[in-house]
Amino acid sequence: MKKQRLIMRTIILLVIGAMLAYAVYEIATDEKIVVKKGDQAPNFMLQTLNDESIKLSSLKGEGILLNFWATYCPPCEKEMPHLESQYQKTKGQGVHILAINVGENKLNVENFANKYNLNFPILHDKLGEVTQAYGVGALPVTYLINSNGEVIDIIPGGMTEADIASYLERVKP
């Protein structure tokens, strides 16, 4: 009986040790892809809160302000009315504001959008695939993408309305 327990404990310890070794190996060899200035913006297709599909590559030839955000992020919340204001001012001028929510519950995001009367496209990255493809860490972060699909700047942190206006000017075709 004691011998069987010893064998079982040894097997369990070996399995746990193997899992730990694998986890350490994965962490050490994981090459996180991070989008940098000058890179082509990774293409994606996401649904808006209205269930419309937006594919980044379909906007080639136009400038894009791509903002990653979350409802629980105070700087994100502060900049949303500014994004809406600039969206209303620049509609039809060859620039787009796209806000990607990073994996929150769709109902929470819809309630947030309704609270601030947001009309610009809010994309729902429910699985976090696009967030991961861009290498997004702290929120908010904004990627400026020119008409050729190239990332020309990455802006970490919150933005004022004047900041947003100047960023949109920079990506205008």
| Residue 10 banded pLDDT, cuts 50, 70, 90 | confident
What is the value of pTM for the model shown? Answer: 0.80
In terms of domains, do 152 and 76 share one? yes
What's residue 9's pLDDT? 82
**What pLDDT is recorded for position 5?**
80
Do residues 17 and 101 both lie within one domain? no
Domain tally, the chain: 2
- What pLDDT does residue 8 have? 81
Report whether pLDDT(103) > 60: yes
pLDDT of residue 25: 56
CB 164 within 8 A of CB 65: yes
Interval 35-88: pLDDT, tens: 899 999 999 999 999 999 999 999 999 999 999 999 999 999 999 999 999 999
Shared-domain flag, residues 25 and 49: no
The reply to whether 106 and 57 lie within a common domain is: yes
Are 23 and 96 in a shared domain? no
Q: How far apart are CA 99 and CA 69, in angstroms?
A: 7
**In sequence order, which residues have a C-beta less than 8 Å from that of residue 75 and are 6 or more positions away?**
139, 140, 157, 158
Where does 116-158 have alpha helices with state H?
129-134
Q: Is the pLDDT of residue 22 over 70?
A: no
Answer whether residue 29 shows pLDDT above 50: no
- Helix and strand counts by DSSP (H, E) for the chain: 5, 7
Supply 77's token pair: 């919340």
Domain span holding position 24: 1-30
